[in-house]
Amino acid sequence: MSSTAIEIEEKKDLWGGGVSPMNVSYGKLMMWFFLLSDAFTFSALLITYGLIRFSHPAFDGAIDDFVFSQEYWPVPEVVFEAVPFLHGVHLPLIFVGLMTFVLILSSVTMVLAVEAGERMDRKGVEKWMLWTLLGGIAFLSCQAWEWSHFITGTDMGSKLLDGRIFHGANLTMNEYGPPNFAALFFFITGFHGFHVFSGVMLNFMVFFQTVTGKLERTGHYEMIEKVGLYWHFVDLVWVFVFTFFYLV
Amino acid sequence: MQQNTPIDVKPIDKDKVKMFLRVTLYLFVITVFEFAIAFTVPHEYKWVRIFIFVALTIVKAYYIMSEFMHLGHEKGALKMSILFPLLFVAFLLFILLFQADAIFQAVY
């Protein structure tokens, strides 16, 4: 028996079968590969945003002179400047910054739930999963408000190329800039929002399994880790969406 | 149901929690710094802004993947099988940004 331990140390036997070369369970490895494929999907969407943005003219004046026009790509900090209950106040990127912090904090509570799970601390897992669920639901609510504001539009609206005044946005027209700007906004933040929604569902599922004691009877809390990987990924994607859609 | 073996709950790993809180602080500070850049560096310096934003985003992504997703503490083979394929993303970014410039030149 003592010789097997030594043999495993050798590289060629590591891949020879009978051991787990990457030292993770099947479920966790497959979650990683799923996330890799999802990362490609999100990269394709964000790079397409870059392609379409840079094939339009950029606004090249002082930021105070900026007006919405179909002629050039809008400056995001002028488009996303509304905060609930503060109608008409110019607060660029404040609300989306708040959403970023909500999602980062729910990622932190998730990592604390995983830590509690490793210690078989059922009460700790329940507590931190509840906070994580709350963060996810808060983020989705913020996004619902942001979408409805974006669709409704500003009080003034702006002039389309054919001279009509249009308020807000849909998939073919918008007051903020070239039609593709709104289409990309709906696709990219919508696809991410749907991931957050599925994440909340999965979080609720593992929370339910913790509360009913199913995970405790299984003898480990690996489900929390696997769902946690997905939840952190959703946060990771938001970091990129935040940069490329709102800051750049 | 034979639910009689008591579950032994281990004490909190203080170092680990401290490390998570430190990473949270980093993410918070970097995001605040990004806001500061967004409102202090004028839009004329477009490429300076983009460079700083992308660099800081990669730092944030590193902390999330390495500590929160635990990838930094996994075996090298797992790290490489996740990170290496992401080079295709850099490739797509490279060709599509060239394409964007070509479309811009053709249309305007």
Tell me whether residues B13 and A115 touch, CB distance under 8 A: yes
Residues B81 and B68 in one domain: no
Q: What is the pLDDT of residue A234?
A: 97
Q: What is the pLDDT of residue A214?
A: 94
Q: Is residue B39 domain-resident?
A: yes
Residues B56 and B104 in one domain: no
Interface with chain B: mutation pick from A14, A54, A81, A110, highest number of B CBs within 10 Å: A54
CA angle A205, B75, A42 (to 5 degrees): 55
Residues B18 and B32 in one domain: yes
Extract the tokens encoding B30.
């970097």
pLDDT per residue as tens digits for the range B59-87: 999 999 999 999 999 999 999 999 999 99
Long-range pairs for B76-81: beta carbons < 8 A, 24 or more residues apart = B77/A21, B77/A22, B78/A22, B78/A23, B78/A24, B78/A29, B78/A32, B81/A22, B81/A32
Residues B69 and B86 in one domain: no
User: How many separate domains does chain B show?
Assistant: 2
Residues B18 and B42 in one domain: yes
From the list A105, A185, A93, A190, the residue with the least C-alpha distance to A140 is A190
Q: What is the pLDDT of residue B54?
A: 95
pLDDT, one tens digit for every residue, chain A (248 residues): 444 555 555 566 788 888 888 889 999 999 999 999 999 999 999 999 999 999 999 888 788 888 888 889 999 888 898 888 888 788 888 999 999 999 999 999 999 999 999 999 999 999 999 999 999 999 999 999 999 999 998 888 788 777 788 888 988 888 999 989 999 999 999 999 999 999 999 999 999 999 999 999 999 999 999 999 999 999 999 999 999 999 98
* Largest interatomic CA distance in chain A: 83
Tell me whether residues B82 and A97 touch, CB distance under 8 A: no
Write out the residue range of the structural domain in which residue B105 sits. Answer: 76-108
Residues B85 and B102 in one domain: yes
Q: Is residue B4 domain-resident?
A: no
Write out the residue range of the structural domain in which residue A148 sits. Answer: 24-247
Extract the tokens encoding B60.
């944030």
Q: What is the pLDDT of residue A9?
A: 55
CA distance B9 to chain A (A): 5
Residues B46 and B89 in one domain: no
User: What CATH number should be reported for the domain holding residue A82?
Assistant: 1.20.120.80
Q: What is the pLDDT of residue B6?
A: 73
Query: Helix, strand or coil for residue A158?
Result: strand
- Please indicate if any CB of chain B lies within 8 Å of the CB of A45: no
Q: Is residue A6 domain-resident?
A: no
Amino acid at A165: I
Q: What is the ipTM of this complex?
A: 0.91
Q: What is the pLDDT of residue A61?
A: 78
Residues B92 and B64 in one domain: no
Q: Is residue B50 domain-resident?
A: yes
Cβ pair A244, A49 in contact under 8 A: yes
CA distance B35 to chain A (A): 8
The residues that bridge with A58 in the sheet, in sequence order, are: A73
Q: Is residue B3 domain-resident?
A: no
- Residues of chain B with pLDDT below 50 are 1
Tell me whether residues B31 and A77 touch, CB distance under 8 A: no
| Residue A137 Cα distances to A98, A107, A150, A226, angstroms | 14, 13, 20, 20
Interface with chain A: mutation pick from B8, B25, B39, B70, highest number of A CBs within 10 Å: B70
Q: Is residue B22 domain-resident?
A: yes
CA distance A55 to chain B (A): 4
User: How many separate domains does chain A show?
Assistant: 1
Q: Is residue B8 domain-resident?
A: no
Question: B14 burial class (0-12, 13-18, 19+ CB within 10 angstroms)?
Answer: exposed
From the list A82, A144, A95, the residue with the least C-alpha distance to B35 is A95
Tell me the residues of chain A between 69 and 128 that have a Cβ less than 8 Å away from chain B.
75, 77, 92-93, 97, 100-101, 104-105, 107-108, 110-112, 115, 118-122
Q: Is residue A154 domain-resident?
A: yes
- Give dist(CA A22, CA A14) in Å, integer: 9
Q: Is residue B2 domain-resident?
A: no
Residues B54 and B28 in one domain: yes
A-chain residues within 8 Å CB-CB of B12? Answer: 115, 119
User: Phi and psi dihedrals of A120, rounded to 5?
Assistant: 60, 30
Residues B25 and B51 in one domain: yes
Nearest by CB to A104, which of B27, B49, B88? B27
Residues B21 and B35 in one domain: yes
Q: Is residue A19 domain-resident?
A: no
